[in-house]
Amino acid sequence: GAGVSQSPSNKVTEKGKDVELRCDPISGHTALYWYRQSLGQGLEFLIYFQGNSAPDKSGLPSDRFSAERTGGSVSTLTIQRTQQEDSAVYLCASSLALDRMGDTQYFGPGTRLTVL
């Protein structure tokens, strides 16, 4: 079946603008995760969803970052008033269920965000 998809694949924006990144998980996967990889850094956890709720938002780097998930499926990560340090590859992953620890997370291809 179809894997995790993300859009756009690349986004170039100007400092101060808002951006929305979209993730479409594998059908039937109730858990959804957002990560980002900044230059020279490891993948950094941002937030996860179980269904439409986000029990842990502790990874969001600032209040300019928010995420939502609707219908237990598509998720949107929004960055307001983008800064140059937000430039990174943003990856989304999904897994069958949040409460099955050790479940494989299946990743999308990522969105490369560049803030000029």
Site residues (CB under 8 A) for another protein?
3-4, 31, 33, 35, 40-45, 48, 55-56, 91, 95, 98-110
> Which of 82/111 has CB closer to another protein?
111
Q: By three-state DSSP, how is residue 84 classified?
A: helix
Question: Nearest distance from residue 27's CB to another protein, in Å?
Answer: 16
Question: Nearest distance from residue 38's CB to another protein, in Å?
Answer: 11
> Which of 75/82 has CB closer to another protein?
75
81 HSE (CA, 13 A, CB side): 3
> Which of 23/82 has CB closer to another protein?
23
Query: Which contacts qualify for 39-43: CB closer than 8 Å, 24 or more apart?
Result: 39/87, 39/88, 43/91
- Please name the residues in contact with 107: beta carbons below 8 A apart, sequence gap of 6 or more: 4, 91, 92, 93
> Which of 10/78 has CB closer to another protein?
10
Question: Nearest distance from residue 16's CB to another protein, in Å?
Answer: 29
Question: Nearest distance from residue 83's CB to another protein, in Å?
Answer: 22
Block residue for tokens 């937030």: 47
